[in-house]
Structure 1
Amino acid sequence: MKEFILTANESGQRFDKYLKKLLPNAGSSFLYKMLRKKNITLNGKKASGNEKLKEQDRVCLYFSDETFLKFSQDSEALQKEYEALQKLDDKKLPVVYEDEDILILNKPYNMLSQKAKPEDVSANEYMLGYLIQRGALSFEEFRTFRPSVCNRLDRNTTGLLIAGKSMSGLQEMSEMLRTREVRKYYRCIVSGTIEKPASLKGYLIKDERTNKVRGVAQSNDDSVYIETAYTPVKQGDGWTLLEIHLITGRTHQIRAHLSSIGHPIIGDMKYGDPSINKKYEKQYHVKYQLLHAYRLEFPDGKIVSVDPPHIFTKITEV
């Protein structure tokens, strides 16, 4: 018999979903059969699988060791993954804010928010390593619950990433981002002079082959609505520092929207101006788009911000 006592991080989910995480190699029909026969019980009683789990709930599996190993993840491989995360350098992804349910992180450039390939080490892995190193994510919890980043930034966009530490934090932040209750602000340096605030509205179409998007004025079956507001903060010789309010959050939205009005972000190799990028690379060693997730404003009044990388100051204080 195997017994599991649920933690706060594992609560709030349906029992059958928890079982699928605990026994990922078992089919749904097998799990429901085990529930019907009381080979799997919840708090000592027969369960249907639809129950919402609570902290301190007791799950018992009346399986042999061989059966459990057959249907559970490879414990040795899982242990190796856990130990590898534990060894990651947590200084690569500084924590800006932390409470019981969420983390807000300052992502550097050249780091993925989440894995694109199995071998990638993304911000998500560094965040898991941070929690494991501090005893906030035990190996038993790791089996059935993975904290996760809730929003994404492009690999070479810097700044604030939100992660859910607990199940409730992950669910609440994901919903708040979906409904745009969290207001997201960016800073970027664009080519050209912009003197007045504006709100840009339109539609984006994505080319999956090139992983590029383009703006169009009219909606069609392949397009998504976008809205981007900006306010000039400072102007210089051929550049403007903007504060962006990202009203909708679509792939490459800020980069493509600004490029479409003739003010591409400096350093943007996909949507920018090659000659301008070359100039700033030579003069300031700019190697990535100067776009930074700068500030988050929450419905309860909490504001979290982080300064852009030093290269912003180096250019704008000349």
Structure 2
Amino acid sequence: MSEQYNTVQMVEITDDHKAQRIDNYLTTKLKGVPKSMIYRIVRKGEVRVNKKRVKPEYKLCIGDIVRIPPVRTAVKEEQNINLHRVSTLESHIIHEDDRIIVFNKPSGLAVHGGSGLNFGVIEGLRALRPQHQFLELVHRLDRDTSGCLLIAKKRSALRDLHEQLRNKQVDKRYHALVAGQWPETRFKVLAPLRKNVLKSGERLVSVADDGKPSETRYRVLERFQHCSLVEASPITGRTHQIRVHCLHAGHPIGMDSKYGDENFDAKLKSLKFNRLFLHAKSLSFNHPVSQERVRFEADYDQSLSALLSTHKNDI
């Protein structure tokens, strides 16, 4: 299958693409075109901004007129995404407007394709919403974590939300089922985290003096015989932060294949529970258009609900 861009395009830059590099803009605009071809047409002067040659790092300004030459290329088989699987994503959309999508991500689904996967949330949503040229993740969730995931539908919304993340204006609340009795007096874990990448490409995070400063705040939601349901609020946004901080506190999360406890996991498996019990329950932030404070909640899936209701006396 091939994508055709048969005619010259003359595009006026709006606020959505202000300050974006021309090479990144063209990558979004010319879907399926290899980066090597994009750099070639820029280098050869076939791409012009206000009738002048530019370098790939040129940052676009509002009102710039960009000339994009005709190109033809084979599109990768990312179009070959299972349509039934894509259609199931619709039911996981919590909220959608012309700037954002709030999505209740299922456990086991990656946020984006890669590492041998050709299907993730973002690829699926792009296939579900082909009319939207711009759909990008505002933040990420681990593959096995479920719950609230925020996607921007405009570059201006992405810029605004990234700034809120930097300024710690986005409030994320996670629910985690952890081994043992979390102390009522332990409201936070402050422990620096260092990321290690193994030869296999697997990422493992550990508490280390030379790690990046990291903080997670906690409160107990419910106690059971052998475990606790806690709410975790990450103040910083490090890889695997909540999972490693729970382990560091002596209360690893249930069914965590990297940082878990074998005995606790065996107990959960005996109850036919087989997923990481970490769920991004809520997300609040200032809406990128109105700047009003908004809050969204993601319901538990069937397995989380069943464990806490049907089996609450067994855990």
Q: How does 1:63-142 map to 2 (within 5 A)?
A: 68-69=70-71, 74=73, 76-77=74-75, 81-82=78-79, 84=81, 88-92=85-89, 94-117=92-115, 119-132=117-130, 136-137=131-132, 141=133
Offset, 1:290: 0.3
Is contact 1:15–1:53 with CA below 8 Å preserved after alignment? no
Is contact 1:187–1:244 with CA below 8 Å preserved after alignment? yes
Within the candidate set 18, 21, 36, 1:12 is matched to 18
Is contact 2:253–2:277 with CA below 8 Å preserved after alignment? yes
Offset, 1:312: 2.9
Paired residue secondary structure (1:214): strand
Letter in 2 for 1:108: P
Q: How does 1:148-167 map to 2 (within 5 A)?
A: 148-167=136-155
Q: In the aligned structure 2, how far is the partner of 1:165 from the partner of 1:20?
A: 16
Residues 1:241 and 1:14: Cα distance change in structure 2 (over 3 Å)? closer
**Residues 212-247 of structure 1, C-alpha deviations (whole Å, 9 max, x = no match):** 21223xx32xx1111011000110111111111111
Q: Which residue of 2 aligns with 1:232?
A: 220
Which has the higher mean CA deviation after the structures are superposed, 242-251 or 2-11?
2-11
Is contact 1:88–1:129 with CA below 8 Å preserved after alignment? no
Aligned residues: 286
Offset, 1:40: 3.0
Residues 1:314 and 1:3: Cα distance change in structure 2 (over 3 Å)? closer
Q: Which residue of 2 aligns with 1:297?
A: 284
Paired residue secondary structure (1:206): strand
Q: In the aligned structure 2, how far is the partner of 1:2 from the partner of 1:129?
A: 26
Q: Which residue of 2 aligns with 1:40?
A: 48
Offset, 1:131: 1.3
Structure number with bigger Rg: 1
Identity across matched positions, percent: 24
Q: Which residue of 1 aligns with 2:298?
A: 306
- Structure 2 residues without counterparts, runs of 5 or longer: 1-6, 287-291
Q: Which residue of 2 aligns with 1:187?
A: 175
Q: In the aligned structure 2, how far is the partner of 1:98 from the partner of 1:309?
A: 20
Residues 1:60 and 1:295: Cα distance change in structure 2 (over 3 Å)? same
Offset, 1:203: 0.6
Q: Which residue of 2 aligns with 1:199?
A: 188
Establish whether residue 244 from structure 1 lines up as the match of residue 253 from structure 2. no
Is contact 1:20–1:26 with CA below 8 Å preserved after alignment? no
Offset, 1:31: 2.7
Q: In the aligned structure 2, how far is the partner of 1:15 from the partner of 1:274?
A: 48
Q: In the aligned structure 2, how far is the partner of 1:169 from the partner of 1:204?
A: 30
Is contact 1:201–1:226 with CA below 8 Å preserved after alignment? yes
Q: Which residue of 2 aligns with 1:31?
A: 42
Letter in 1 for 2:281: Y
Q: Which residue of 2 aligns with 1:274?
A: 262
Letter in 2 for 1:40: R
Offset, 1:151: 1.1
Is contact 1:109–1:156 with CA below 8 Å preserved after alignment? yes
**Residues 295-316 of structure 1, C-alpha deviations (whole Å, 9 max, x = no match):** 1111432111112223333233
Q: Which residue of 2 aligns with 1:52?
A: 61
- Structure 1 residues without counterparts, runs of 5 or longer: none
Is contact 2:285–2:295 with CA below 8 Å preserved after alignment? yes
**Residues 2-50 of structure 1, C-alpha deviations (whole Å, 9 max, x = no match):** 1244586963244733346647435758636627xxx7354xx547554
Offset, 1:207: 2.4
Q: In the aligned structure 2, how far is the partner of 1:260 from the partner of 1:51?
A: 46
Residues 1:279 and 1:87: Cα distance change in structure 2 (over 3 Å)? closer
CA-atom RMSD in angstroms = 2.9
Q: In the aligned structure 2, how far is the partner of 1:163 from the partner of 1:256?
A: 26
**Residues 177-213 of structure 1, C-alpha deviations (whole Å, 9 max, x = no match):** 2332211110011111124151110111222115221
Q: In the aligned structure 2, how far is the partner of 1:234 from the partner of 1:15?
A: 49
